[in-house]
Amino acid sequence: MTAIATLTMSPAVDLFASTEQFYYDSKTRCEILHRVPGGGGINVARNLRRLGLDVLAVFPAGGHHGDLLEQLLADDGLPFTRVGIENETTQNIALREASSGKSVHLVFPGAVLQAGEWRACLDAIDAINPAPRMLVISGSLPAPIPATFFADVIHACHQRSIRVVLDTSGAALRHALEAGVYFVKLNREDFTALGYAGPDTPHDRLIAMKKMVDDGWAEHLVLTLGPHGALLASRSGELMHITPPPVTVVSHAGAGDSFVSVMTCKLYQGTSVAEAFAYGVAAAAAAISTPGNQLEDFDWLAQVYAGVIRRI
């Protein structure tokens, strides 16, 4: 039985590499460290499985990188449903400069899907039986899929009493929120795109977030603020600002997905929304202070969680 399913419409193979020094006018010779499955929902699914939950990842994939992604997931032991597509799946690149400790994360557009292919992804979610308790929609929506696609998925989930967790951006975000979700994670760019033009203070942002919650967009709405932590507005009344302890930044890859993974896991397990939110903030900080795009050191996560500061 699947407890939580994830939907990733822009999956990828993530290539991690290193170089001693970047050169901008000649060759930069790199060492390949590893290739791992990538894409928002896939990252979340892998974390959730590592956290002990039964999870199924649904995604479209095609070409050489699609086959490689499938093999990597099979090697990882993650249950998945691959929807075959004609075009080549994306490969993203995370490159670290050893001499400075700086990293660049090159993220490319998702593969273009034909109408029959993206409709098959919706059918794959409908085919999960029995229905999962939660569906995590994470990652961007590639062109030319209609911006209403995620909203269509959410409406179908409502009919089966599936709670939806959302982490996306662009035109699809507003349509999805207007359909109403259980938990959504926004960043500052998303928040501005949704119409916020007020002061950059936690108090003013929380007032605007509470209105979004009261309007039915989400039961729990999170706004991440990078090193300044995150804000939470919940239909159950919580208004919170939590900041993580200082950590050494190693890689930003997968930080947002780690936040979603751990907060989703805690909510699924019945933890209070305040504690689930605090764990999400800690998970993002733990993720950026370790290499790769996954949470693997749960002792470190517990240490970071112990250091979070609840400001509101």
Give CA 195 to chain center in angstroms: 22
Amino acid identity for residue 90 in this structure: T
Alpha-carbon span 294 to 253, nearest angstrom: 8
Q: Quote the CA–CA distance of 93 and 244 in Å, as a whole number.
A: 27
Asked if 237 and 213 touch (Cβ cutoff 8 Å), the reply is no
Amino acid at 53: L
Q: Taken in order 98, 103, 104, 110, is the CA torsion positive or negative?
A: positive
User: 220 forms bridges with which residues in the sheet?
Assistant: 183, 234
DSSP label of 210: H
**In angstroms, how far is the first alpha carbon of the chain from the final one?**
38
**What is the rounded CA–CA span in Å between residue 202 and residue 185?**
16
Residues catalogued as catalytic: 257
Least Cα distance to 85 among 103, 104, 70, 101 occurs for 70
